[in-house]
Structure 1
């Protein structure tokens, strides 16, 4: 009997290797995951199979391919790392078995609506880095075995190779590369501060016009930018890249954020006519005690200081960039940044909801911003504001002034 079991396992492995090798040789990227997931359902005798890939900037898993759970992909389901079944797999980087599915275990409503009873999921890796999660499920209760886990891990390895082949879609890959190149791959190390950021696309292609930027100026001041070019897709991303580069150039010759935005407005109105852009440009002093900022139609950032809840910074909202009209002189404002304070800059996708005035989201955001490490604040804001299924792009930039050592 033992020999027969080994023969069956070897046959299963040979079948998986054969189908994945055939899949990888195809040019049609859309078929790569589909054929693999079909084979997984057959080999493991399960009802559903799905792949969620990691969006590193958002720290969320995105439903990318599914069999039996196609609605998950159509909805563009996202779940934060650490949340629910798939998020737990990504956080621990270990297989997870759920023998009895409940709403306390999973956060994806599609899984619950399907009536799945048991789940098995494993992490996906490429070059040693986590890239996603592969999971399978059954409508009847099932006790997944160690052999099932081992088999699914092998499939996850093959799926990772398929993902590399899938990225050969040059148009999409080039567009995504452009988007990612315009976001800081790593925030700069700045003495006295710690920072964190998130970017979540609200468009199915993963490309949009929201951006954030952080740079140290020759004077020692720290520049912070967050902005939003109207629209979605590659065109918005291209315009955003030009606006971002121009603001960096103006920041080198202007000590006043309002002056830099005035020059940027002229540039956008002349060279990017018809593309409305909002932007917030803030500068933090070399001693980290003060913030100087100006807003071009952008939402005010939220500032929390020790002993007080978060509140919007008092800064005048000047007209957006690119209106084509000569606005009145733009204004700058100043605010204190005491030790322990936290500044949260964001785009409107974080707080805007359909059928709800924006004040509700702004009040909710102010209520959750508190004095804590930047990464902790960033994760709390994203989790609380329900940004896993956005209808608009979201960018968040959090700056925390480290407490003065005692």
Structure 2
């Protein structure tokens, strides 16, 4: 029979799990601290948390006390298999008083000599986050109070698990984006280049991107785009779109033609993602530019001694449309010495509770025919919000005076 729990002990257990100081720990430290406390409160020998890898449908050993080998070995188990897999599949507690080889899949549990096990699912609402289990080296019949306490710990661990997963996604998205955005813009004869990128979400990197590349024909490719959403999924789509456009740029002498092929690719393989892009090709002698827009805001064009204007470029439908109503357009514009072409994403000019026209007006008054880096600096200072709610990408190209 399990020992009887009095009111004082229940209160001690509750305080140990709901302690406000736990909220000050980061996700990994919180999981470790919870396992330490649950081992002490339940008087068990081992405690472990396995978090769900949703793509693989596997539980991954993430934190453990008394079973550290499980984490070091990177133990994984499919949902439905073994002790932890059963808990994940059924989404309810499981108690085993006498563990046998048929009850577990992980050989570490058997090698450790685990005699009794208790496990509960780690849930966030209706979503499975993982499994929390404890074990003893001597036989034990876990009681209802033990189950309730372990479930309380699991509820606290669910928050840490979600935070940890979000941080991993954010880190992966940031690493992916850094590999895709030019670390340093190329030095190209006849033009000056400058760019800025500011993430606008605490949850991670978004889908704004830019690119500059020289083509074998001597033309210079300049691209800016925006994939809807944020985090790793948007960063992955962004990478695919960027790579595809580079490939199409090698076989197309017209930006509208390249965006037509890119539209077909996005519609076929990236269905459901709203993507805009602006592709400009600057001639080898730098005196003209061909531009095509797929749902993207028109760039700003400013010549020395003249006010800035939005380039007279038709805006075609975004990428991913099944059958555009008409062929995508390419517009040729002159690029005089000292002229600046400024490309940007909507995060620069959009504000909540304000029509976008106000932001566009601010942008026009801010752009001057100056050095590319000065143009970017002025635009970010005068137009960009101090605390943007969306990503901002800015790319300035100036023909050398």
SS in 2 for 1:174: helix
1:106-255 → structure 2 map (5 Å cutoff) = 171-255=169-253
Q: Which residue of 1 aligns with 2:375?
A: 377
- Which of 380, 387, 390 is equivalent to 1:389? 387
- Please give the secondary structure, in 1, of the residue aligned with 2:373: helix
For normalisation by structure 2, the TM-score amounts to 0.58
* Matched residue count: 242
SS in 1 for 2:242: helix
For 2:26 and 2:296, the matched residues in 1 are separated by 44
1:186-242 deviation digits (Å, cap 9, x = unpaired) = 101001111110111111133110100000000000000000111111101100100
Note the C-alpha offset of 1:27.
8.6
Instruction: Map residues 313-328 of structure 1 onto 2, 5 A cutoff.
Output: 313-328=311-326
1:355 corresponds to 2:370: no
Per-residue deviation, 1:174: 2.6
**In structure 1, how many angstroms separate the alpha carbons of the residues matched to 2:332 and 2:297?**
16
CA gap 1:325/1:341 in 2 versus in 1, 3 angstroms: same
Paired residues for 1:46-61 under 5 Å: none
1:294 to 292, 295, 307: 292
Deviation at 1:355, TM superposition (A): 1.5
Q: Give matches, 1:265-276, under 5 Å.
A: 265-276=263-274
Q: Confirm or deny: 8 A CA contact 1:178 1:237 kept in the other structure.
A: yes
Supply the distance in 1 between the matched residues of 2:380 and 2:180 (Cα, whole angstroms). 21
- CA deviation map 1:46-71 (0-9, x unaligned): xxxxxxxxxxxxxxxxxxxxxxxxxx
Shift, 1:402, TM fit: 1.3
Alpha-carbon offset, residue 170 of structure 1: 5.3
Q: Which ranges in structure 2 are unaligned for 5 or more consecutive residues?
A: 1-24, 31-163
> Does structure 2 conserve the Cα–Cα contact (< 8 Å) formed by 1:247 and 1:261?
yes
In structure 1, how many angstroms separate the alpha carbons of the residues matched to 2:314 and 2:29? Answer: 48
- The DSSP-based 3-state class of the residue aligned with 1:269 is helix
Instruction: Measure, in 1, the Cα distance between the counterparts of 2:394 and 2:385.
Output: 11
- The CA distance in 2 between the partners of 1:27 and 1:301, in whole Å, is 43
* Structure 2 Cα separation of the partners of residues 243 and 282 of structure 1: 16
- Is the contact between residue 170 and residue 204 of structure 2 (CA under 8 Å) also seen in structure 1? no
Q: Does the CA-based 8 Å contact 1:273-1:324 persist in structure 2?
A: no
Decide whether aligned partners of structure 1 residues 29 and 371 sit closer, same or farther in structure 2, where only a CA change above 3 A counts.
farther
Q: In 1, Cα distance between the equivalents of 2:254 and 2:29?
A: 50
237-246 or 170-179, which deviates more: 170-179
TM-score w.r.t. length of structure 1: 0.57
Q: Distance in 2 between matches of 1:287 and 1:185?
A: 26
How much does 1:357 deviate?
1.3
3-state SS of the aligned residue for 1:185?
Answer: coil
Q: Is the 8 A contact 1:276 1:323 kept in 2?
A: no
Q: Work out whether residues 172 and 232 of structure 2, in 8 Å CA contact, stay in contact via their aligned partners in 1.
A: no
RMSD of the alignment, in Å? Answer: 1.8
Instruction: Tell me how far apart the structure 2 counterparts of residues 29 and 294 of structure 1 sit (CA, whole Å).
Output: 48
CA shift, 1:326, in A, is 3.6
1:4-26 CA distance string (max 9 Å, x none): xxxxxxxxxxxxxxxxxxxxxx9
- Pick one of 257, 261, 264 that aligns with 2:262: 264
CA shift, 1:313, in A, is 0.4
Structure 1 gap segments, 5+ residues each: 1-25, 32-165
Q: 1:265 to 1:308 in 2, by over 3 A?
A: same
Among 315, 339, 342, the residue aligned to 2:340? 342
Aligned equivalent of 2:397, options 385, 399, 406: 399
Judge conservation of contact 2:308–2:368 (CA < 8 Å) in 1: yes
Larger radius of gyration between Structure 1 and Structure 2 = 2
Per-residue deviation, 1:171: 4.8
Q: CA deviation at 1:387?
A: 3.1
Which residue is 1:96 aligned to?
Answer: none
